[in-house]
Amino acid sequence: MAMRVTGMMSGLDTESIIQELVAVRQTKVDTLKKEQTKLEWKQDAWKELNNKIKKLYSGTLSDLRYQSSYMKKATKTSNDNLVSVIAKDSAMDSVQSLEINKLAKAGYLTGAEITDKDGNKVTSGSKLVEKLGIEAGSKFEITSGGKTVEITVDENTTINSLVSKLQSVGVKANFDATNQRLFIGASGTGEEKDFTITASNDSGTKALDKLGILVYDKDVKAAYQKYADLANDSDAKQSAIEAKTAELLKSYKAEKTSLESAVESLKKKQDELVKAYNEEYGSEDFDIKNSDSRAERQETLNEKIAELEEQLKDENLTEEEKATLTADLNKAKGELSYLDGYDTNLKSITEKTDRITELNTDYINENGTAGAKTVEEATADIEGKIAKAQDVLANYDDLTGSKAFKVDGEDAEITLNGAPFTSSSNTFDINGLTITCKGETAVGEKITLTTENDVSGIYDMVKNFIKEYSSLINEMDKLYNAESSKGYDPLTDEEKDSMSEKEVEKWEEKIKDSLLRRDSTLNSVSSAMKEIMAGGYTVNGKTLYLSDFGIETLGYFNAADNEKNAYHINGDEDEETLKTKDNTLKEMITKDPNTVVDFFTQLSKTLYTKLDDLMARSDYSSMNTVYDDKKMKEDYDSYSSKIKEAEAKLTDYEDKWYKKFSAMETALAKMQSNSSAVTSLLGGS
């Protein structure tokens, strides 16, 4: 904003004079802004109302159009303590008899107490071979839900890593260090999700025993029997060998890929090490890659380091001498670390490359199929498991296992109308009923399940529609019949400054409440809705109205202002003045549900179709909009252009007056200057 200094010569308050002159034209700008603000408020009022109309249209009203929405069922039980039932809409009306014979259980194993080979406590980090004396190469399998994981113990296997492998099959597993026990639980209830743990070799049996999880039960016996049966079924045995071969091949391919990636990384690291060494210590007569030269240099450096360390022991050294020797020592150690690192990396590269060669030669053929050693290993594995299974089964009745306690997973069992049903969980889905068992019935006890139309569900659906419609129509009537706000316009900033916040709020509220007063669009929408709700619909040759279902308005004299078109349900417990009346709607849902459904589907379809027409896209309105939102947007943008133009003209007008008064001040200044000059010539002071 330009800074102006006026009235210096004339002594006039030209600033105030100009503002008074501008004020007359400022009124036009303010009027446009007020009209635009009023239009903006009207847009907001319509948006809010339109959202409520759309909510009724796409929600409750849309659902009521379909007979399937009324097909609600409910099931009552004679013993809610033992069973709960949810009825789907497809459930049949019936009275059924239920017996709960057995609840589903989850498999759970509480391991025996574990000690190390010296009888001491172990930790989650204890190594099985070193601490528990378990033989490396011990193998055992855990199976759950059709998935089997074989665990092979090696020198690095800890209790913690064992737990992780157990969990990989899907069971829950944990080591309790306080009680020194392994705990294993199935992932869920039922026989299918139960688990078994079986040894794959003799050392595997000993390993399970030392871990306190060696168990012999019917499921373990069945697991061993599967392997034993392979001895007499060559096709099944061959399939098992092929499956094991494929499993091993996959693991070897993964190992090869991992090794190749590691070799590539090590070679890159080796190149970086050589580059860094040459920059720090390199010379033309030494090649770090030459093994003989490197060995010779390492020997020289070791001798030099030993010599420098010996020299540093001299107590007569000056600080300067000591610093020099220390610097030489650190340099020698630094160079040696590069050479040793090169050797370490080279050794790792060689080992990994040799393993890759071994895999390609013996375990993986050129075409990616299994090599001879893979097939040999798979065959030996299956043969070993067969032999182990046969040995176990031969003495099964005498086997006791470790002091572990195993709860078997069991399916739930019920008898419904005399027919038996089983489920892996305590929930059964039978013919539209979801039956959840909570306890077992006593011998001879039967629970009665009664399924019938859900009167409350249908009633609540109709009630919610009536309530939502009535709330909406009340609001529409209130907006249409609002008091006039003639003489009230949106306030300018200057006008707001002269009023309190509460006064401003009341002023604007007065305007906002009347924005849709006598609005023709609002009248069209509400009239159409009222007409449809008041209409009659033919059911079984008879024309019925809402009043035939005990749904009526309160009447002109009983209803509050702007609530005369709202509907209420006689006998509705939420209506204080109506709750003592007979509830005709609920009675008809109970006795004649088809009539209720037929009537309300017709009414809702008619109202839905009408609202669909009113919310159709047009040149002036968007889709799903009952008012002219496009036209209002155009009008709003037009106001913005008009305001911008009026403000520009106002600025020009203001600048014109400042220029005129500035010219006057300049003329007065010249006159003053000339007068002073004349006075000076005439000898004045």
The residue written with tokens 């036009």 in the block is 28
- CA–CA dist 104, 188 (Å, integer): 10
- pLDDT score recorded for residue 670: 75
- CA–CA dist 547, 536 (Å, integer): 10
Question: How confident is residue 24, by pLDDT bands cut at 50, 70 and 90?
Answer: low
Instruction: Note whether 143 and 449 are within 8 A (CB).
Output: no
Distances (CA, A) of 379 to 244, 376, 390: 8, 5, 17
Residue 191 has which token pair?
Answer: 């026989």
Instruction: Note whether 26 and 646 are within 8 A (CB).
Output: no
Amino acid present at 215: V
Query: Has residue 368 got a pLDDT over 70?
Result: yes
Query: Has residue 2 got a pLDDT over 90?
Result: no
- CA–CA dist 637, 657 (Å, integer): 31
Over range 581-590, report the average pLDDT.
Answer: 93
pLDDT tens-digit map of 413-439 = 999 999 999 999 999 999 999 999 999
- pLDDT score recorded for residue 651: 78
Query: Has residue 26 got a pLDDT over 70?
Result: yes
- b/e per residue, 126-138, with b = 16+ CB within 10 A? bbbbebbebeeeb
Query: Has residue 8 got a pLDDT over 60?
Result: no
- pLDDT score recorded for residue 683: 59
For 449, the enclosing helix (H) or strand (E) is strand 447-453
- pLDDT score recorded for residue 5: 45
Question: How confident is residue 21, by pLDDT bands cut at 50, 70 and 90?
Answer: low
- pLDDT score recorded for residue 13: 63
Q: Which of 532, 523, 525, 527 is nearest to 606 (CA)?
A: 532
Over range 399-420, report the average pLDDT.
Answer: 95
Distances (CA, A) of 243 to 80, 122, 223, 381, 581: 50, 37, 17, 11, 76
- b/e per residue, 218-248, with b = 16+ CB within 10 A? ebbbebbeebbebeeeeeebeebbeebbeeb
- CA–CA dist 214, 400 (Å, integer): 9
pLDDT tens-digit map of 607-642 = 999 999 999 998 888 999 999 999 999 999 999 888
Report the chain's terminal Cα–Cα distance, integer Å.
42
Cα three-residue angle 250-254-260, rounded to 5 degrees: 145
Q: Which of 94-108, 249-263, 641-655 has the lowest mean pLDDT?
A: 641-655
- % residues pLDDT > 70 (the chain): 94
Helix (H, G, I), strand (E, B) or coil at 25: helix
Amino acid present at 84: S
Does 492 or 10 have the greater pLDDT score? 492
CA gyration radius, the chain: 47
pLDDT tens-digit map of 122-151 = 999 999 999 999 999 999 999 998 899 999
Instruction: Note whether 421 and 414 are within 8 A (CB).
Output: yes
Q: Give the length of the chain.
A: 685
The pair phi, psi for residue 630, each rounded to 5°, is -65, -45
Query: Has residue 91 got a pLDDT over 70?
Result: yes
Quote the pTM value: 0.59
Q: Residue 87's beta-bridge partner residues?
A: 433
- Domain spans in the chain, listed from the N-terminal domain onward: 45-69+456-631, 77-101+411-448, 106-214, 247-376
Q: What is the mean pLDDT of the chain?
A: 91
Amino acid present at 398: D
- pLDDT score recorded for residue 31: 86
- pLDDT score recorded for residue 70: 84
- CA–CA dist 329, 514 (Å, integer): 93
- pLDDT score recorded for residue 123: 96
The residue written with tokens 């809705």 in the block is 529
Burial class (CB in 10 A: 0-12, 13-18, 19+), 171: buried
Amino acid present at 19: Q
Q: Residue 369's beta-bridge partner residues?
A: none
Q: Which of 449, 456, 410 is nearest to 431 (CA)?
A: 449
Instruction: Note whether 407 and 105 are within 8 A (CB).
Output: yes
Q: Which of 16-30, 162-176, 538-552 has the lowest mean pLDDT?
A: 16-30
pLDDT tens-digit map of 284-335 = 888 999 999 999 999 999 999 999 999 999 989 999 999 999 999 999 999 9
- pLDDT score recorded for residue 225: 96
Cα three-residue angle 498-500-504, rounded to 5 degrees: 90
Query: Has residue 655 got a pLDDT over 90?
Result: no
Q: Which of 21-30, 155-164, 497-506, 556-565 has the lowest mean pLDDT?
A: 21-30
Question: How confident is residue 681, by pLDDT bands cut at 50, 70 and 90?
Answer: low
Does 674 or 453 have the greater pLDDT score? 453
Q: How many CA atoms lie within 13 A of 651 on its CB side?
A: 8
Residue 234 has which token pair?
Answer: 């060559």
Over range 474-499, report the average pLDDT.
Answer: 92
Helix (H, G, I), strand (E, B) or coil at 257: helix
Question: How confident is residue 467, by pLDDT bands cut at 50, 70 and 90?
Answer: very high
Kindly provide the residue ranges of all beta strands, DSSP E only, lying in 294-438, ordered along the sequence: 405-407, 412-416, 419-423, 427-430, 433-437
Over range 578-605, report the average pLDDT.
Answer: 93
Over range 362-373, report the average pLDDT.
Answer: 95
Query: Has residue 186 got a pLDDT over 50?
Result: yes
- CA–CA dist 153, 133 (Å, integer): 11
Q: Is the dihedral of CA 178, 180, 182, 183 positive or negative?
A: negative
